Structure 1
Amino acid sequence: MKYYFLFLFFVGLVYSSYGQTDSTATLKEKEIINNPRLGQLDSLGGRKTKENYGNKPDGLKIEDYKIISNNRDTTFLDTTLTLKKEYRYNFLREDDFEFMPFSNIGQPYNALGVNLENKSMYPGIGARARHFGFFDEDDVYYYNVPTPMTELFFKTTLEQGQLLDALLTFNTSRRLNFSIAFKGFRSSGKYRFDQAESGSFRTSFNYRTANNRYWLRGHYASQDIEAEENGGLSNKEDQFESGNEDFIDRSRIDVVYTNATNRVLSKRYFLDHQFNVVRPKKDSLKTRSTLLAIGHQFNYESKFYQFLQSSASSTFGENVLSSPINDKATLKTMFNQVSAKFSNETLGSLSGSINLYNYQYFFNSLLITDEQTIQNKIDGDEIALGADYKNTIGKLFLQGKLRYNLSGDLTGTLFDGFAKYQLNNNNSLTAAIHGSSRAPNFNFLLYQSDYENFNWQNTERFEKQQIQTLTFGFDSKLFGTLEAKYSAIDNYTFFGLDDSITDDDFENDLENAFVRPKQESNTITFLKVKYNKEFKYKKWALNNTLMYQNVGQDNQVLNIPDFVTRNTLYYSDDVFKKAMYIQTGVTFKYFTSYNMDAYHPLLGEFYVQEQEELGAFPMIDFFINAKVRQTRIYLKAEHINTIWSKDYNYYSAPNYPYRDFVIRFGLVWNFFS
């Protein structure tokens, strides 16, 4: 917790150095015609400096506070209060419709829906269940702001802790921006030995020369995510499902472990710069503008995943190589890309690149057994060619990305294509295609543990996963948003139970000792249809999101619910003589029962199980949200139906219950100076 106060002190010190004479300036709200509130913009009447920004008689606007993604897409700061903001007001800060959270904040999320496309051409370290809330390079943003801007995100957690995400960004001139951000939380949870905490520090900068011939941007990220692992409930039938009043205080319930923790730690250095050999120019006749540029991108990241246990447990196997348990997998990667870019108003933007990727995945020891030798590392180099294209032709927008591997063992190809056609102001069509071939994550290929059962090497046995996906979408203000996705995957790699497991092992809760990496040889097909539509009547609205999924497979290795729904009935209005804008309502979420994946604390992964179907229970939340100037205030009563329901069958994974009724609150606050 000490890092919170150090960071807030730094924010206050820097912020105060810019003066606070205009920090209380009000935001004058505008409304976009035919879309009030949802498309609401804010105008900021703040301090203007002639030296940097010139005289602007109309004052600064919220559109002047620009946010730039890693893909160089630019948006502006959004201080509105909408239902979409309510859905994103959580630990992930994104809509969690397709996720099922565990009882505590910062713990894993089980999957209610899947997207099989590979975002990266290269495999990761693994421990995917412990990476929720982790900031990848695409999650770090760059800024361009006329005056210093601060954003504070705060939300209460579950017992002894808080969640804070703070950002400060400022321009020293029109051409140079800095940002510094820290996301930290701690939550003890309602159950024994369930504490989670993390600290994620990010700082970024971007710079352009006066003639716009050269630009440079980069970021540094240091992240530490740590959690206690209790293994779930050891006697769920008597102590949880029975509704025994002696155990309504969840801290009295027995758990499997009280001596295990795991941790993800990462440090990343990212640099991206470009020199424009030929700059775009326009004369009075508005002739074509052409850009010819060369660029370089560098990314170095060091990450490790560690599982610690003060003494061995038989639930992971009887044979232990050493105790206490200290399993640590490390991955160090270095990425260099050299590119050339050509863009023209008519021909669009085309770039070609050559990429060099160096990786080192390793453990601290070499394991030699009677049957085999488990190597302690996988390392090598990958060389790939790339091409990117983007163009707008009338109402048609096209975007494509291709990567082809020249040498190396990890990857093959990656292709993404996207098209959008704007039928009119209210309707648009989209289509996308994805194809990729790459090795599974490193922890499938090689793993070492002080538990003998969790030592394997599959570098020669596992094939590359191959994924093909087609997506079609229709977005209409009248009919809603519809998306249909069809995927086919070969050599699907997953964690599952070894064939040697017996009924006695299940009765003695020893299934965790038999979890192994597996690969499905048959093709799996997957269909997902997702629909969203909001109905409005005066100040009332009903927002509905429905999702249907179907998996075609010979073996049950990809398990997801057939149907997921979320429905929100809410009321919106100005109150207190329009000094405050409120939204209040009820959200209902439900998914059909299915063989929900189980969680494995040693690996930090979910694995396939066929013994227990879970789900088919409602989750009802009541919320009251308000906006006062540029501050959004949130209050929510979560899982409120547990107050009157006595069906204690709500689980996030086998042996891991979902949270009981709890009231949480917080705010998002923007400062301008």
Structure 2
Amino acid sequence: MFNMPKTFQLGKSHKMIKGVLACLFLCLCTFSNAQRRNPGDFGAPGGVGSPINKTAAPSKSKKTQDSENQEKANIKDYIIISHQNDTTYVDTTLTIQKEYKFNYLRRDNFGLMPFSNLGQTYNTQTFNFQNMGLMPNFGARARHFNYFEVEDINYYRVPTPLTELFFKTAFEQGQLVDSFITINTSPEFNFSIAYKGLRSLGKYQHILTSTGNFRFTSNYHTKNNRYNFRGHIVTQDLLNQENGGLRDSELDFFESGAPEYIDRSIFNPAFENAESILLGKRFHLEHDYELIKKDSLSKNAIKLGHIMSFEDKYFQFDQTSSATSYFGDAFVTSRIKDRATLENFYNKVYVSYSNNLLGDLQFSLSSNNYNYGYNQVVILQDNTIITNRLKGNILSAEGKYRKQYKGFELDGEFGLNISGDFEGNFINAKATFNLNEDIAASASLNHSSRAPNYNTLLYQSNYKLYNWQNNFNNIETQQLAFQLRYKQLANITVDLNTISDYVYFKEDQTSVEPYQIRPFQNSGTITYLRAKLENEIRLGKFALNNTVMYQNVQDDNNSINVPELITRNTFYFSSHLFKKAMYLQTGVTLNYFTEYYMNAYNPLLAEFYVQNDEEFGGFPRLDFFINAKIRQTRLFLKAEHFNSAFTGYNYYSAPNYPYRDFVVRFGVVWNFFM
């Protein structure tokens, strides 16, 4: 097997953090004078908008204008634009949802079980089988929780420079930061720069994490709003030391809770010489031109658009000294280096038609030029040849439809691969009805057929047991989903899924070697039901926030294992203090899931695999938190898993991977408005 040059030095992300923070502050100071204008020039917060025509006013001194701009700036003028062109505005309030999102992923991680160290992976306890993709995913899915996809990038439009600083303590010698600044140099042009960095040593041996996510975005529209442009550049490097979890012989000592084992660094992991890295960079561009624009004389609009995206990424597993028997025999005795690469060049052209009566329609043609694989062909001992590349070009057609009428909204979307080696299609339809401001209901239907991930079709490794080339059928899924929302009192979602030809990883029971994890295809049909209830009960300054999910899987092959019940319940108190100078929120959160055959983790593949030998779960996790808001600053203090010492040391994130012990952590989110 081949050796690759090392492109990442341990701790690189950590060393960049101070420099990036300094650059962001420098940008803020440099461009703050570029935006001295009335926020009213930016139009309504419902979209990109064109400047508002205003009657000329008498000239004023620069000092007077700056003072008025500071006073007139409204929080709703600081607009966030999603990938789907949905808009919202910057929210500096302190709510229980902000508590749920104050984590490494910066989103609600209900249904995800984190590993002991920050920046490791998450064990997924619930799955959403709604799918509108036509291409296989890269693989190494356990490393993609903090990987920013195209859909995760937001764009901005602000009347004055906006900065956000995020900080949270990590585990032993490290910290998590996320710094962001966005500026409009004119009402038409905006750009933003952000960097998210983490370094955390962890409590156990050899599980250091060092990650970095750099994002640059820009968007522009002409004054007449006919031409619109937006794009982003994202570079990401996510490094994790790998130790294979605790040895089987160490598990009894961990569960005993004996004082001498509370120091987790004394435990012996499976190995201490491996690390994995997921590295990617992406250049993305979207632009469109409105040939016919709606106005008082025309009820029609026609728009031509183009999307182009290039992404280059690789996943690499290194063992710097010698191979380990944990993964079986190897072709080499030292310097294991497995690297899988993917280059994908995506182009899409589309035409949109909008009519007040008919609604909005869009038709598009797209091409995906992909190149996945390795640098050489592998010949196994039985003369099986494992090729090195999956490459080609996929031509696809897609369509969208949307119609709104009073409180009713209908959305439809379809996609089909016309030519190429991968067949695929999807249909998605959704109907939403808003009875009034308090009650909304929706129903959706999704059908999908897509090729399994690249690493299930082709994989090469220096370890002999981890080389395969498969010709799996497409994974077929159907989902019927319903949602009912009533104010803040209740949000109920139910979805019923049927999955055919599901591809998953598990241990090969026919192999004489242990720990041979391979992809398999379930030829049967799986039925998967989920029901989720979210509600909050308030009584004065006290509240009880509940999130409960019930799951049921009918699968003869046990290829999808999830807990039957997952619950998160938070009892908290909130009130203004010190003449409303500070807003305080404090309470206790209970997280619990029932016992089930929890998926195990394979660090060589960076994938979770199915095991049906031992059940895990049934342990409570109690967190006590005190949060406060002072102006635009939000402070967070949490005692995580404070019950760990008195409810038993049988808590795991995955087999052989213990969950976190009791720890106190704090952090801050700080917004600046010029």
For normalisation by structure 1, the TM-score amounts to 0.92
Q: Separation in 2 of the partners of 1:48 and 1:558?
A: 68
Instruction: Name the residue aligned to 1:557.
Output: 559
User: CA shift at 1:548, angstroms?
Assistant: 0.4
Q: Separation in 2 of the partners of 1:319 and 1:572?
A: 58
Q: Separation in 2 of the partners of 1:207 and 1:478?
A: 36
Q: CA, structure 1 residues 540+22, in 2 after alignment: closer, same or farther (shift >3 Å)?
A: farther
Per mean C-alpha deviation after superposition, the further-off stretch among 343-352 and 650-659 is 343-352
User: CA shift at 1:348, angstroms?
Assistant: 1.6
User: CA shift at 1:16, angstroms?
Assistant: 1.3
Q: Separation in 2 of the partners of 1:598 and 1:499?
A: 15
Aligned partner of residue 237 in structure 1, secondary structure: helix
Instruction: Name the residue aligned to 2:459.
Output: 447
User: CA shift at 1:20, angstroms?
Assistant: 8.7
1:248 equivalent in alignment to 2:259: no
Instruction: Name the residue aligned to 1:398.
Output: 410
Given that residues 288 and 344 in structure 1 are in contact (C-alpha distance below 8 angstroms), is that contact kept between their aligned partners in structure 2? Answer: no
Q: Separation in 2 of the partners of 1:258 and 1:85?
A: 37
1:361 equivalent in alignment to 2:372: yes
Aligned partner of residue 129 in structure 1, secondary structure: helix
Instruction: Name the residue aligned to 1:433.
Output: 445
User: CA shift at 1:499, angstroms?
Assistant: 2.1
Q: CA, structure 1 residues 293+53, in 2 after alignment: closer, same or farther (shift >3 Å)?
A: farther
User: CA shift at 1:70, angstroms?
Assistant: 1.1
User: CA shift at 1:289, angstroms?
Assistant: 3.6
- C-alpha offsets along residues 320-375 of structure 1, whole Å, 9 cap, x if unaligned? 34631100000000100000011123322111000111100010111112331100
- C-alpha offsets along residues 242-296 of structure 1, whole Å, 9 cap, x if unaligned? 11221100011111110010000001000000011011212xxxx6642211000
User: CA shift at 1:501, angstroms?
Assistant: 4.7
Q: Separation in 2 of the partners of 1:602 and 1:123?
A: 20
- C-alpha offsets along residues 32-88 of structure 1, whole Å, 9 cap, x if unaligned? xxxxxxxxxxxxxxx998999997797111110001111111111111100011111
Among 614, 627, 630, the alignment partner of 1:628 is: 630
Counterpart of 1:552, as a letter, is Q
1:317 equivalent in alignment to 2:331: no
1:386 equivalent in alignment to 2:398: yes
Aligned partner of residue 523 in structure 1, secondary structure: strand
Q: Separation in 1 of the partners of 2:68 and 2:535?
A: 44
Mapping 1:4-23, distance limit 5 Å: 4-19=17-32
- C-alpha offsets along residues 528-574 of structure 1, whole Å, 9 cap, x if unaligned? 00001111101000011111000011111100000011110000000
Instruction: Name the residue aligned to 2:666.
Output: 665
Instruction: Name the residue aligned to 1:652.
Output: 653
Instruction: Name the residue aligned to 1:302.
Output: 312
Q: Separation in 2 of the partners of 1:292 and 1:51?
A: 43
Q: Separation in 1 of the partners of 2:578 and 2:611?
A: 54
User: CA shift at 1:409, angstroms?
Assistant: 2.4
Aligned partner of residue 289 in structure 2, secondary structure: strand
Q: Separation in 1 of the partners of 2:669 and 2:422?
A: 42
Q: Separation in 1 of the partners of 2:275 and 2:613?
A: 27
Instruction: Name the residue aligned to 2:131.
Output: 118
Counterpart of 1:122, as a letter, is M
Instruction: Name the residue aligned to 1:456.
Output: 468
Among 178, 199, 202, the alignment partner of 1:189 is: 202
Counterpart of 2:326, as a letter, is T
1:339 equivalent in alignment to 2:350: yes
Among 147, 150, 172, the alignment partner of 2:160 is: 147
Given that residues 547 and 569 in structure 2 are in contact (C-alpha distance below 8 angstroms), is that contact kept between their aligned partners in structure 1? Answer: yes
Given that residues 427 and 474 in structure 1 are in contact (C-alpha distance below 8 angstroms), is that contact kept between their aligned partners in structure 2? Answer: yes
1:70 equivalent in alignment to 2:67: no
User: CA shift at 1:233, angstroms?
Assistant: 0.4
Q: CA, structure 1 residues 57+231, in 2 after alignment: closer, same or farther (shift >3 Å)?
A: closer
Given that residues 99 and 111 in structure 1 are in contact (C-alpha distance below 8 angstroms), is that contact kept between their aligned partners in structure 2? Answer: yes
Instruction: Name the residue aligned to 1:568.
Output: 570
Identical aligned pairs, as a percentage? 46
Given that residues 206 and 215 in structure 1 are in contact (C-alpha distance below 8 angstroms), is that contact kept between their aligned partners in structure 2? Answer: yes
Q: CA, structure 1 residues 77+581, in 2 after alignment: closer, same or farther (shift >3 Å)?
A: same
Aligned partner of residue 258 in structure 1, secondary structure: coil
Q: Separation in 1 of the partners of 2:161 and 2:147?
A: 26
Aligned partner of residue 13 in structure 1, secondary structure: helix
Given that residues 468 and 489 in structure 1 are in contact (C-alpha distance below 8 angstroms), is that contact kept between their aligned partners in structure 2? Answer: yes
User: CA shift at 1:298, angstroms?
Assistant: 0.2
5+ residue gaps, structure 2: 1-13, 37-59
Counterpart of 2:264, as a letter, is R
Counterpart of 1:403, as a letter, is G
Instruction: Name the residue aligned to 2:477.
Output: 467
Q: CA, structure 1 residues 49+94, in 2 after alignment: closer, same or farther (shift >3 Å)?
A: farther
Q: Separation in 1 of the partners of 2:325 and 2:99?
A: 44
Q: CA, structure 1 residues 85+49, in 2 after alignment: closer, same or farther (shift >3 Å)?
A: farther
Aligned partner of residue 643 in structure 1, secondary structure: coil
Q: Separation in 2 of the partners of 1:411 and 1:546?
A: 37
Aligned partner of residue 239 in structure 1, secondary structure: helix
RMSD, aligned CA: 2.1
Given that residues 134 and 416 in structure 2 are in contact (C-alpha distance below 8 angstroms), is that contact kept between their aligned partners in structure 1? Answer: no
Instruction: Name the residue aligned to 1:39.
Output: none
Given that residues 48 and 55 in structure 1 are in contact (C-alpha distance below 8 angstroms), is that contact kept between their aligned partners in structure 2? Answer: no
1:495 equivalent in alignment to 2:505: yes
Per mean C-alpha deviation after superposition, the further-off stretch among 558-567 and 388-397 is 388-397
Instruction: Name the residue aligned to 1:104.
Output: 117
Among 274, 297, 312, the alignment partner of 1:260 is: 274
Q: Separation in 1 of the partners of 2:333 and 2:454?
A: 23
Given that residues 53 and 146 in structure 1 are in contact (C-alpha distance below 8 angstroms), is that contact kept between their aligned partners in structure 2? Answer: no
Given that residues 204 and 264 in structure 2 are in contact (C-alpha distance below 8 angstroms), is that contact kept between their aligned partners in structure 1? Answer: yes
Q: Separation in 2 of the partners of 1:344 and 1:183?
A: 42
Instruction: Name the residue aligned to 1:44.
Output: none
